[in-house]
Amino acid sequence: MGKVRVAIVGCGGIANQKHLPSFKANADKADLVAFCDIIPERAEKAAKEYGTADAKVFTDYKEMLADKSLNIDLVHVCTPNVSHCPITVAAFEAGKHVMCEKPMAATTADAQKMIDAWKASGKKFTIGYQNRFRDDTQTLHASCEAGELGEIYFAKAHALRRRAVPTWGVFPNKELQGGGPLIDIGTHALDITLWMMNNYEPVSVSGSVFYKLGRDPKGPEGNVFGPWDPETFQTEDSAFGFVKMKNGATIYIEAAWALNILKSMEASTTLCGTRAGAEIHHGGSYPNDELIYNTVEHNQLMEKVISPAGVVDFFEGGAAAEAVRENTQWLDAIINDGEPLVKPEQAFVVTQILEAIYKSAETGKEVFF
């Protein structure tokens, strides 16, 4: 096929920081022909800056999908988590390819509806886990695929911030987001950890979720995005989970927007294998991404460190390298009838585990699959 005709649903932060600049970098592959947002001014601004000359603006995604004159091929869903499901399902029913921002959904039930609609449509589907496209994650994944770490039987998924609660949009709104840091940044760390292990068969999950600093009147002090309102802070400020896999492997996941901790990082992982181990340090306390292998050579414990120069995310409106790579690979999969790197079945398992952590914390019991 020729250039992909794209519609954007949700013209807020993630669309402007990631999706729209990435499409601009791939202008030879796609045209942005429709923009939808419940705030019309946002859709109009995005259309003016990134759209084709005849791009249309909507406040209702159903009206947009029903407009046959647009000949939309692809829909990008960039809305709050709880709305991912109905928009994605409607797009598939309209015969469109879909990329949905992470996480796939706020609940496993919604994620299953999305999977069912995708399979019935015959179209392509992916979830926005752009951290797979970073240099460090690509390198470590190649090592895992080559068996250099051996059997990976223990791992940690890291998504910890010391004080970096997002104070814009609907992030602290549990009703619209389905959760806080666990579903927001923990999802990235868990995705890359499962991907490295190539293990998507969880057996049970135990979780703890804390509502401490978010509701403390002194909690907002020192927040890098400015103070939040403890009276309206609905989500957890930290969450932790322990996952047992079918083959006996275990994963510990830690996620926080606010935690009294010295070292912070997100979209990071620690892998322990039978032949070697590896750690990725990204974000937070690490200005440059670090990939560290640990092994034994000549009867000596060894560490091998790769510290690339890194990039500045979204500098002057330009998307980070990984976001452009994600967009390029996705568009190529549509144009050339290939497979996206992030598969829906994998993202579904991430949602299953995240929901199980919340349920375990709520009931005080281990959740079995």
For the segment 144-152, the average pLDDT, to the nearest whole number, is: 98
CATH architecture observed for domain 4-130: 3-Layer(aba) Sandwich (3.40)
CA nearest 344: which of 105, 75, 155, 20? 105
pTM of the full structure? 0.94
| Distance between CA atoms of residues 89 and 117, nearest Å | 6
- Share the mean pLDDT of the chain: 95
For the chain, what percent of residues have pLDDT higher than 90?
A: 93
**pLDDT, position 307:** 58
**pLDDT, position 358:** 98
Task: Check whether 318 has a pLDDT greater than 60.
Answer: no
Reported as half-sphere exposure (CB side, CA atoms, 13 A), residue 182 has a value of: 33
Rounded to 5 degrees, what angle do the CA atoms 137, 141, 146 make?
155
Q: In the 8-state DSSP scheme, what is residue 17?
A: I
Residue reference for tokens 């996952």: 243
CATH architecture observed for domain 131-313+343-368: 2-Layer Sandwich (3.30)
Residue 320's pLDDT band, with cuts at 50, 70 and 90, is: confident
**pLDDT, position 316:** 44
Provide CATH 3.30.360.10 ranges for the chain. Answer: 131-313+343-368
Residue bearing the bigger pLDDT, 307 or 234:
234
Per-residue pLDDT reduced to its tens digit, 7-42: 999 999 999 999 999 999 999 999 999 999 999 999
- φ and ψ of 34, to 5 deg: -150, 140
**pLDDT, position 2:** 82
Long-range contacts formed by 86-92: CB under 8 A, 24+ apart: 87/9, 87/61, 88/114, 88/117, 88/118, 88/125, 89/113, 89/114, 89/117, 90/61, 90/62, 90/65, 91/9, 91/61, 91/65, 92/117, 92/118, 92/120, 92/121, 92/123, 92/125
Rg (CA), the chain: 20
Per-residue pLDDT reduced to its tens digit, 235-294: 999 999 999 999 999 999 999 999 999 999 999 999 999 999 999 999 999 998 999 999
**pLDDT, position 138:** 96
**pLDDT, position 193:** 98
Is 52 in a helix, a strand, or coil? coil
Rounded to 5 degrees, what angle do the CA atoms 240, 17, 195 make?
40
Residue 319's pLDDT band, with cuts at 50, 70 and 90, is: low
For the segment 83-88, the average pLDDT, to the nearest whole number, is: 98
Task: Check whether 361 has a pLDDT greater than 70.
Answer: yes
CB atoms within 10 A of CB 218: 8
Task: Check whether 136 has a pLDDT greater than 50.
Answer: yes
| Distance between CA atoms of residues 249 and 227, nearest Å | 40
**pLDDT, position 1:** 75
For the segment 79-102, the average pLDDT, to the nearest whole number, is: 98
Provide CATH 3.40.50.720 ranges for the chain. Answer: 4-130
